[in-house]
Structure 1
């Protein structure tokens, strides 16, 4: 089966990377394809077999859900699958609360399904079981359930689904109901890709080929290595695992992974920090969600602050859980004065409690690459006694050091830390010098629930071993591309160009970024670019000879029309914060620098021709 177009793109609807069983992106090669996807056009949604996991429920997860719905559900019920009872209960509470606001409360039923290997199971299934927790609800509540899945990132992973299906196959379980389909009232949360015949339009990989690809290119290991992989990840994130060992560890040394004998040096982040200050989660968004839950559990009830235009689900979490959110959408220094005035006013109205619960910000932000003035925000947090949680996914901790300004740092390890785009992961790191550290650490130690599937952790650990080398190369590539685009932009002095602005930390709030850039650190691998017309944006995007789809931080260059994908239903709202409809976001990869520059130049030429 042909999976690429004549331009070298992966065909519409197939997974990115190609021939990757657990690819986390999907090919949407043209601007028109992205708009059609958001509009629910059957031309696009009926051929999709992959997607970003929080937005697209994978085919194998749906297959497992069909089995569970058939086994435990009643007529008209649908279900979602979670790795723990606690998460299933959180889903039930969210669906009940949000549906009650609309006047028709639904209370999902919860079922536990313990799946154990058969006595004659293959070796990879020996000695382990899977404990699924199923939330069953009427189809009318599916939109709320999908919101929980998307916002929190706490649903089961595709690898866990495969593991369960392998055990059920041995037990001769099989689905007898038609595929689950949802029709939520909010189109934004539609289960896109629940397509007729989609399963038949895979990349022609049977089970044996899939296993080979996982083991050969993912260097797969037995699940028993999961705890060691997680410990190695925590040490790597804390900065205490010596880099020489990280790079040189070979497959034959795998039993030593994460155990006591590993060489450990001083932390490159904060000297007092240890691996025990790092907590792993299944996704970056689940780390953000749990950071917010941590704050609400420990601190007096109050609204949170979202400072700067964030990735969409961060704002949704702050708005839908807890008392609400103050939104400062530009994240520029001028808004800090507005924030301080609000804090002063709230503090005078009720001196007995902090004026806000916490402040969330990205460093830098997605997609505008703006960096907040962290020292000023930290000073306000100390004065008014609130928490600061910083998302470092874009800057990444090998370019910037922002922990000293935060009470907790969250990160999507799915992105450049992994790079391979074949597994999800997230982390939360507590600042041992923070004024609320003792309370935060005690609460996390008492309540933390490890729901990160061991096999996902094993793949992430292997992917991340050369993360420093990859990041340095990507930083260099991105700076070269952005310098070229900036020279052709109106903001960069080109009076007759079609490029309006290049958003990149080197040019966007550089004084704030430099406060946190580490020695030898770069500006990251992400930039956004805007044009003088929507027609020019479309031509530039379509002419880029790179992969097109959601996500970022991949080892290969990946582009998307960000506002169309993230804010299609609210484009005028996003535009008032400078996130224009025609904004193109590009995550630069490891391709040769001259290839990147030549390809970018051709796309600029296409934009210029379209403008004429």
Structure 2
């Protein structure tokens, strides 16, 4: 497989992708500039990761809504349901009240229908039922200087409208030019640490670099028009018609549940009524498609899992076990009574957790914690928690276990037997094409609290996964098993090569790689407990170690030289069909580098998500970058 490498700063990754979920940041300096709000970088941004960068279509639709319904310079975020808009308002009221000044927040329902195109701008707020072709928007309006606070809800929960939904709404509105934002609100959302600060010390009273995004710029050279992109994706993408969205969602739920007897026949759609269904291959045979719930993003599924726990179990703090993707920690900190954070996720943390549980249980008859959240393996250190011990503690002290399987994925590992809830970002390897977002939540029918969890989900779940997004995700996921096996093999070969050139692998000087972080060597005994073996539960192949690894270097200069010389796509996200690299800690923890380093997360770490490229080509590409880094270090040493 050959994928064009995006080298234009701020362009979509992959190129020519209107709904891309990654953006090109080709050099180390570009990534630092992005975090610091440098105009050179910010002004080049055509797109960005969807929960951090407001897609241009959403920007345009929001400005129209602000013009129609806003007052006194109000800004807004858009949500697909009233319930989510109300949750955003509740979050803003609660968080602002903590700092002594409650923010005024208004909600407006806006239904856009095809006939509005010919209504000469007469679109208006409506109530009541509408036809299935209409788009229902729920607008959260607030003072402009509270935009960073509202953005926290939008980012952490991942529940805002998708770019495809925005485009659908715009296509039904009269042709009109959205007004520009106030001059002072002129940069994309940036603050000292715009999406990763550990806590809020104050709510900004005036616009900062976390202010709303600017007017969307004209189409960039690497962008296609709406008609062109729709034609290309439907002509070559094997898409179902939008009317088949229900079947597409059913197909995905069956794939995730592991109940499809065969999912590789080109003429049979996995969501049809006559597809053969069997016992689940997820390690718990009773799992069915009805135990799988779809969400607009992976973070939405994590937020929903936490909301589910809060709605069903006695109120208590949660546990975040291991160094997680940062928004998971923010969710546990900002909703409910907070969380206990065990940032290393190693055996010492397990011992400390056991002592905490014993202490809390001795003073109360209620469970000592609400739920434990962990990633398997973790991002970016690829450490795997001891799920056997965690499951035993959960059974003893009666709390829920929620496992994020995004990085390993269920083709490689069986995690459901140890969890009450398994969540995943479908935006990653399940999709692979980096052009659509999605998330899933799976309930374990053998879990102690399954009945109450399932009842609560059935009573409260809203399907707000936009139909067109589901169509693309279903299309992308049809061959995900084949892709996972190929990516497993590419990644292991590449990691074996790099490990042999590292200090951890015993390489002789000169070498610039300190360590290769990969499940094969990072807490391998815990990963092996869950890795799938051929012949178990009808699995025909051994599970692998996944497509993600991280490199740490002997110096920051070596990290930067290696990254800049690496001729692959560079930007946020992972699990793509093409290799994608990023200086992850710079992007994720730029304003808290010292804090992250406490948990072994090196500021110079380079994270790599391996794709489907030719293996020999991949090895040569990484060898070339490694040689450049070695030469830079050698040159620096000679100068000293």
TM-score interval, normalised by the smaller of the two chains: over 0.9
- In structure 2, the partner of 1:310 is 324
Counterpart check, 1:276 vs 2:290? yes
Q: Identify the residue that residue 498 of structure 1 maps to in structure 2.
A: 512
2:483 is the alignment partner of 1:486? no
Where 1:10 maps in the other structure, the secondary structure is coil
Counterpart-to-counterpart distance in 2, 1:348 and 1:38 = 45
1:201 corresponds in structure 2 to: 220
Instruction: Give the 3 Å change call, closer, same or farther, for CA 143–392 of structure 1 in structure 2.
Output: same
Task: Find the counterpart in structure 2 of residue 218 from structure 1.
Answer: 237
Checking the alignment, whether the CA contact within 8 Å between 2:557 and 2:633 is kept in structure 1 is yes
Structure-2 residue corresponding to 1:77:
74
Q: Take 2:13 and 2:214, find their aligned partners in 1: how far apart are those partners? A: 18
Please give the residue correspondences for 1:182-581 in structure 2 after superposition, counting only pairs within 5 Å.
187-189=193-195, 194-195=213-214, 198-243=217-262, 246-250=263-267, 257-269=270-282, 270-350=284-364, 352-496=365-509, 497-519=511-533, 520-581=542-603
Which of 101, 110, 128 is 2:133 aligned to? 128
Shift in Å, 1:37: 0.2
Distance 1:49 1:498 in 2: 35
- Asked if the contact 1:87–1:154 (Cα under 8 Å) also holds between the matched residues in 2, the reply is yes
Contact 1:46 1:198 in 2 (8 A): no
Deviations 1:259-292 (A, max 9, x none): 3211212211121110000000000000000000
Please report the RMSD computed on the Cα atoms of aligned residues, expressed in angstroms. 1.9
Deviation string for 1:91-149 (max 9, x for gaps)?
1011111122222210310000011112999xxx9951110000000011101111111
Partner of 1:18, secondary structure, is coil
How far apart, in 2, do the equivalents of 1:498 and 1:57 lie?
Answer: 38
Q: CA deviation at 1:187?
A: 4.6
Alpha-carbon offset, residue 333 of structure 1: 1.4
Structure 2 distance, partners of 1:164, 1:32, is 38
- 1:62 has 2:59 as partner: yes
In structure 1, the partner of 2:200 is none
Distance in 1, matches of 2:328 and 2:568, equals 28
Q: Paired residues, what number? A: 594
Deviates more, 1:70-79 or 1:180-189: 180-189
The residue that corresponds to 1:112 in the other structure is 109
Shift of 1:611: 1.1
Match of 2:623 among 595, 601, 604: 601
How far the C-alpha of 1:501 sits from its partner, in A, is 0.7
- The alignment partner of 1:247 has SS state of coil
TM-score relative to the length of structure 1: 0.94
Find the aligned partners of 2:273 and 2:219 in 1 and give their Cα distance. 47
1:140 to 145, 151, 176: 145
Quote how far apart the aligned CAs of 1:213 are.
2.4
Structure 2 stretches of 5 or more lacking a match?
Answer: 119-129, 196-208, 534-541, 635-640
Q: Could you report, residue by residue, the CA deviation over 1:382-420 in whole angstroms, capped at 9, with x for unpaired residues?
A: 000000000000000000000000000000000000000
Any conservation in 1 of the 2:568–2:581 contact (CA below 8 Å)? yes
Structure 1: runs of 5+ lacking an equivalent: 1-6
Q: How far off its partner does 1:172 sit?
A: 3.8
**Residues 452-507 of structure 1: per-residue CA shift (max 9 Å, x gap):** 00110111011000000000000000000000111111111114121101000001
Q: Partner of 1:3 in structure 2?
A: none
> What TM-score do the two structures reach when normalised by structure 2?
0.90
**8 Å CA contact retained: 1:140, 1:184:** no
Name the SS for the 1:188 alignment partner: coil
Q: Following the alignment from structure 2 to structure 1, what is the Cα–Cα distance between the partners of residues 10 and 265?
A: 37
Partner SS state of residue 527, structure 1:
strand
SS of match in other structure, 1:13:
coil
Distance in 1 between the 2:434 and 2:322 partners?
27
Match of 1:4 in 2: none
State the distance in 2 between where 1:295 and 1:126 align.
35
Give the Cα–Cα distance (whole angstroms) in 1 for the partners of residues 465 and 387 of structure 2: 31
Q: Secondary structure at the match of 1:199?
A: coil
Secondary structure of 2:115 counterpart? coil
Alpha-carbon shift at residue 235 of structure 1 (Å): 0.5
Q: Is the 8 A contact 1:23 1:50 kept in 2?
A: yes
Q: Secondary structure at the match of 2:572?
A: coil
Separation in 2, partners of 1:452, 1:8:
30
Give distance in 1, aligned partners of 2:621 and 2:583.
18
- Contact 1:116–1:167 (CA<8 Å) still a contact in 2? yes
CA-CA distance at 1:249 after TM superposition: 3.0
**Which one has a larger percent helix, Structure 1 or Structure 2?**
1
The verdict on how the C-alpha distance between 1:534 and 1:186 changes in structure 2, with shifts beyond 3 A counting, is: closer
Q: How many Å separate the matches in 1 of 2:452 and 2:226?
A: 48
Displacement after TM superposition at 1:363 (Å): 0.3
Deviation of residue 194 (structure 1)? Answer: 2.9
Aligned residue number for residue 42 of structure 2: 45
CA distance, structure 1, for counterparts of residue 190 and residue 590 of structure 2? 17
Alpha-carbon deviation of 1:74? 0.8
**Are the structure 2 counterparts of residues 68 and 584 from structure 1 closer, same or farther at C-alpha, using a change threshold of 3 Å?**
same
Q: CA deviation at 1:218?
A: 3.1
Hey, what's the Cα distance between the residues in 2 that align with 1:263 and 1:34? 48
Cα distance in 2 for partners of 1:363, 1:504 equals: 12
Structure 1 contact 9–545 (Cα < 8 Å) conserved: no
- Distance of 1:238 and 1:549 partners within structure 2: 31
Provide the secondary structure at the position in 2 that maps to 1:359. Answer: strand
Q: Report deviation, 1:257.
A: 4.9
- 1 CA distance for matches of 2:272 and 2:26? 44
Name the counterpart of 2:203.
none
Q: CA deviation at 1:201?
A: 3.0
SS in 1 for 2:612: coil
Within 5 Å, give how 1:155-166 maps onto structure 2. Answer: 155-166=160-171
In structure 2, relative to structure 1, the CA distance for the partners of 1:257 and 1:272 (3 Å cut) is closer
Pair 1:26-2:23 in alignment: yes
